Structure 1
Amino acid sequence: MFPKTATATLLFFFMALTFQVKAQKQVHPKGKLLILGGAATNEYFIDYFAELAGGFDRKIVIIPSAMTDNAIENDPDFERLKKPFKNAGFTNIEVLHTRDKVLADTKEFIKPLLDAEGVWITGGRQWRLVQSYLGTRTQNALDQLLKKGKVIAGTSAGASIMADLLVRGDPAGNTIMLGEYQEGFGFLQNIAIDQHHLARNRQFDLFEVKRVHPEVLGIGLEENTGILVTDNQFKVVGKGYVGIYDGTRWSAERDTIYQLPKDVEQFYFLREGNAYDLKEQRIILK
Structure 2
Amino acid sequence: MRLITLLLIFMLSAVGCADQTGLPVNPAAEPATSAPLGKLFIIGGGKRPPGLVQSLVQASGLDQGGYGIILPMSSGEPDTSAYYAIKQFTSLGLEQSLFRTYNFQKGAYPKPAIDSLRNARLIYITGGDQNRFMEVVADSPVYEAIHEAYQAGATIAGTSAGAAVMSDQMITGNEHRHPEYTGDFRTIESENMEIAEGLGLLNNAIIDQHFIWRMRMNRLITVVLDHPDQIGIGIDESTAILVEDGRFATVHGQYQVITLRHPSGMTTVQDSLLGGRGLELGVLLPGDTLSLQ
- TM-score, length-scaled by structure 2: 0.73
Residue 240 (structure 1) aligned with residue 255 (structure 2): yes
Asked whether the equivalents of residues 40 and 155 of structure 1 are also in contact (C-alpha less than 8 Å), the reply is: no
C-alpha deviation, 1:266, in angstroms: 5.5
Q: Give the residue type in structure 2 aligned to 1:42.
A: P
Q: Give the residue type in structure 2 aligned to 1:61.
A: I
How far, CA to CA, are the matches of 2:282 and 2:239 in structure 1?
Answer: 16
Asked whether the equivalents of residues 32 and 230 of structure 1 are also in contact (C-alpha less than 8 Å), the reply is: yes
Q: Give the residue type in structure 1 aligned to 2:38.
A: G
Which structure 2 residue ranges, 5 or more long, are not aligned?
1-31, 186-191, 268-275
Matched residue, 1:206 = 220
CA distance change for structure 1 residues 54 and 162 in 2, over 3 Å: closer, same or farther? Answer: same
DSSP 3-state at the match of 1:163: coil
Q: Percent identity?
A: 28
Residue 52 (structure 1) aligned with residue 56 (structure 2): no
Matched residue, 1:30 = 37
DSSP 3-state at the match of 1:199: coil
Q: Give the residue type in structure 2 aligned to 1:64.
A: P
C-alpha deviation, 1:247, in angstroms: 2.5
C-alpha deviation, 1:112, in angstroms: 2.5
Correspondence for 1:141 among 145, 153, 172: 145
Matched residue, 1:115 = 119
C-alpha deviation, 1:28, in angstroms: 4.7
Matched residue, 1:97 = 103
Asked whether the equivalents of residues 193 and 219 of structure 2 are also in contact (C-alpha less than 8 Å), the reply is: no
How far, CA to CA, are the matches of 1:96 and 1:163 in structure 2?
Answer: 22
Correspondence for 1:218 among 220, 223, 232: 232
Matched residue, 1:17 = none
Q: Point out the more displaced range, 139-148 or 208-217.
A: 208-217
Residue 61 (structure 1) aligned with residue 69 (structure 2): yes
How far, CA to CA, are the matches of 2:286 and 2:54 in structure 1?
Answer: 17
Residue 128 (structure 1) aligned with residue 132 (structure 2): yes
Aligned length: 238
CA distance change for structure 1 residues 160 and 174 in 2, over 3 Å: closer, same or farther? Answer: farther
Matched residue, 2:16 = none
C-alpha deviation, 1:261, in angstroms: 7.4
C-alpha deviation, 1:159, in angstroms: 0.7
Matched residue, 1:153 = 157
C-alpha deviation, 1:80, in angstroms: 4.1
C-alpha deviation, 1:210, in angstroms: 1.8
CA distance change for structure 1 residues 95 and 209 in 2, over 3 Å: closer, same or farther? Answer: same
How far, CA to CA, are the matches of 1:60 and 1:133 in structure 2?
Answer: 18
Matched residue, 2:288 = 274
Residue deviations 1:89-148 (CA, integer Å, cap 9, x gap): 2221111112x22113x4233133133110111111100111010111111111111111
C-alpha deviation, 1:236, in angstroms: 1.2
Asked whether the equivalents of residues 127 and 170 of structure 1 are also in contact (C-alpha less than 8 Å), the reply is: no
C-alpha deviation, 1:204, in angstroms: 2.2
